[in-house]
A and B are shown apart, each in its own frame.
Chain A
Amino acid sequence: MRDTDPSTNERDFLLAALKDGARIDGRKFYDFRTLRLTFGAEYGAVEVQLGNTRVLAKVSCEVIRPYTDKPTEGFLMFNTELSPMASAAFEVGRQTDEEVLVSRLIEKAMRRSRALDTEGLCIVAGEKVWSIRVDIHFLDHDGNLVDAACIAAITALLHFRRPDVTVVGEDVTIHTLEQRNPVPLSIHHIPICTTFAFFNNG
């Protein structure tokens, strides 16, 4: 189901208000909405609230074999789900344009910019590496999904702790959370997204 466009009255009011320098929720042009972060009980679970937009991010990890041509690099995968819970415009299973763009943007911001050190995820070169998976769920769509999702993803990665590993020769022991304190991921820098819009041709 396609999202209904705002009515002509609403659009005209919005544009006229912008000409006078006012936004419909009373903010200035360069003001962000209130940002609230709620951390879950487990490591790596965070919920971001940007005004009414809510995004949930959860990080999980597992040990797998690396690619043969990149034996020392771990995996970092992002999975975004735009469920109909967030907005009536989204459908289960069908990838809308917006979802593709949001998901690609998060991947580019996090992966291409090397925010997370993938070489640090290596346990035994060529055999065992960590695969980090970030699941991003959109709960409520009230605009600016990209910024909220980015903040959620990077906060979840910063919050996450992976189990500690000891390598003795060929023997790999993955310690449980009871045996040893879990280890944080090595994040080089924190990418933050900002979205701008131009109205009335500038």
Chain B
Amino acid sequence: MSRAELLSPEGLRIDGRRPAELRKITSTTCVLSQADGSAYLEHGNTKVLAAVYGPREARHRALVLHDRAILNVELNVAPFSTGERRRRSKNDKRLLEMASFVKQTFEPVVIATLYPRSQIDIYLQVIQHDGGTLQACINATTMALIDAGIAMTDYVCACTAGWVEREAAIDLNYIEESSDTSEVTIAMLPKSSKITLTQMESRLHVDKLEEVFRLAGEGCKQMYEVMDKTIRDRAEDLARKMAV
């Protein structure tokens, strides 16, 4: 593969964005009829669908906790989501790891003690994969959980950041991810600025770490604005319909 120029001399990335610019975000909630809560999120070309069922009776009695709900996350990546059609096995370690990260991200945020002896299921489907799958999954899950009416202490907003050639950049796409640069994903609670997930691939020099983290934090705040607007618009819409 020829070395594509990830950062042009003028400071534009491979898709024409500035380093600190997010991709275009489209989000809708309540897209599925059977799920208790659902959300569809697009980060540029990365498209993720999230469905939440719960709180409902737990499948396996053995796993039930007497004082809180258990979270179950299943992640599915469609074979047509990448450039080449590739079928991933259900036990693919990468997918299991990502699902485990989503679960760990939401465990401290969802107020599970309100729903003892029950289970909250989160199903994620990646329809198109153009970089930033984990961040899209976390953001879609937040919106789906809010749509389902499950109590949470705060929104969870996620954003990726990395070091592209000479500068730190946020929201890396597939081409930037596949190159040798490192990628940091951060999930943050915007009101308290607390971080629930930090994940990094590849190598990054410790001096650059702070800048990348700071940029990812700012990206999360921007995500929060967009997600909040979608949720509030939808709530206003519902309130108007109910008032008639």
Contact = CB atoms under 8 A, between A and B. Distances in A.
Interface of A: 2, 95, 97, 100-101, 103-104, 107-108, 112-114
B57 interface: no
Contact of A95 (B62, B63, B91, B203): B91
A104 B202 contact: no
Interface in B53-102: 62-63, 91, 93-94, 96-97, 100
A108 B93 contact: no
Nearest to B94: A104
Contacts of B91: 95
Contacts, number: 25
B97 A100 contact: yes
Interface of B: 62-63, 91, 93-94, 96-97, 100, 103, 201-203
Nearest to B100: A97
A108 B203 CA distance: 10
B202 A2 contact: no
B101 to A, nearest CB: 9
Contacts of A113: 202-203
B93 A100 contact: yes
B201 A112 contact: yes
Contacts of B103: 97
A112 B202 CA distance: 5
Question: Main secondary structure on chain B at its contact with chain A?
Answer: helix
Contacts of B96: 95, 97, 100
The 5 closest A-B pairs by CB, nearest first: A104-B97, A100-B96, A112-B202, A97-B100, A113-B203
B103 to A, nearest CB: 8
Question: Main secondary structure on chain A at its contact with chain B?
Answer: helix
Contacts of B202: 112-113
A101 B103 CA distance: 12
Contacts of B62: 2
B93 A103 contact: yes
Nearest to B63: A2
B134 to A, nearest CB: 13
A95 B100 CA distance: 12
A95 B90 CA distance: 12
Count chain B CB atoms within 10 A of each CB in A2, A100, A101, A108 and give the residue with the most: A100
Nearest to A100: B96
B201 A108 contact: yes
A101 B100 CA distance: 8
Nearest to B101: A101
A100 B103 CA distance: 14
Contacts of B93: 100, 103-104, 107
